[in-house]
Amino acid sequence: MWNTHTLKILSCTFMLTVLCGMTPPASTAMAAATDVLEPIAPLGSVEKTAAFEYKLEGRPDPFVPFLTEKATTAQQDPNEIIDDGEGELSGMQKFEPGQLTLVAVMESTSQKIAMVEDVTGKGYILNEGTPIGRRGIVTQIDPQQGLIVETARTRAGKDIKTTVTMRLKKEGEQ
């Protein structure tokens, strides 16, 4: 009887001879099996088949890019306000003027100071020239109000200026 090791060697020999197109020697036990199998063509002689043709049939062409330059640049509004993206906001830039309430104005011979508070009741001090919000600067502090000018830039390069007035509320006003 054949042991497992001998059977493995014989099957490997048979596979190699079939793949290479050779006939196994008649002395092997597998010689009879090659008569049933058709010989395989050598590696160098490959038959030429018809060229493959992709049929769209309602499917998109897989070789056309998904994004085109026209799709990415079209439909941009020149009057759209762009963000400068100057990085992290700090101090009073974290608050928009509408989030603050003017509660006091102090005036000395050298400067004017406005005191504001946020919705939680925390107080802050504003001077003329203090940046506030993303685009605003405190431009003027009067005895009854503070003026903030917000400057936004559009895609076309046009500057849009908006003036926000923070009024001091009198006793009993909401």
Rounded CA separation 20/44 (Å) = 11
Residue 42 dihedral angles phi and psi, to the nearest 5°? -60, 160
Asked whether residue 105 carries a pLDDT value surpassing 90, the answer given is yes
**Rounded mean pLDDT of the chain?**
78
Rounded CA separation 61/53 (Å) = 12
Q: What is the pLDDT of residue 75?
A: 67
Are 46 and 13 found together in one domain?
yes
Asked whether residue 102 carries a pLDDT value surpassing 80, the answer given is yes
Residue 96 in domain? yes
> Coil, strand or helix: which one is 104?
strand
Residue 20 in domain? yes
Residue 149 dihedral angles phi and psi, to the nearest 5°? -105, 120
In 21-145, where does DSSP find H-type helix? 69-73
Residue 146 in domain? yes
Q: What is the pLDDT of residue 108?
A: 85
Confidence grade of residue 44 (pLDDT, cut at 50, 70, 90): low
40 and 21 Cβ atoms separated by less than 8 Å? yes
Residue 123 CA, chain-centre distance (Å), reads 38
pTM: 0.53
Residue 41 in domain? yes
Are 37 and 102 found together in one domain?
no
Residue 80 in domain? no
Are 96 and 58 found together in one domain?
no
- State which of 28-32, 83-87, 114-118 shows the largest mean pLDDT: 114-118
Domain that holds residue 144: 91-167
∠149-98-81 over CA atoms, to 5°? 55
117-169: per-residue pLDDT in tens?
998 999 999 999 999 988 899 999 998 999 999 998 888 888 899 999 999 88
Q: What is the pLDDT of residue 34?
A: 47
Average pLDDT, stretch 9-28? 66
| Domain of residue 112, CATH code | 2.30.30.830
Strand partners, 65: none
Rounded CA separation 95/123 (Å) = 12
Are 57 and 119 found together in one domain?
no
Are 117 and 147 found together in one domain?
yes
Q: What is the pLDDT of residue 41?
A: 62
Are 66 and 96 found together in one domain?
no
Total tally of structural domains belonging to the chain:
2
Rounded CA separation 102/85 (Å) = 28
- DSSP 8-state code for residue 108: -
Residue 174 in domain? no
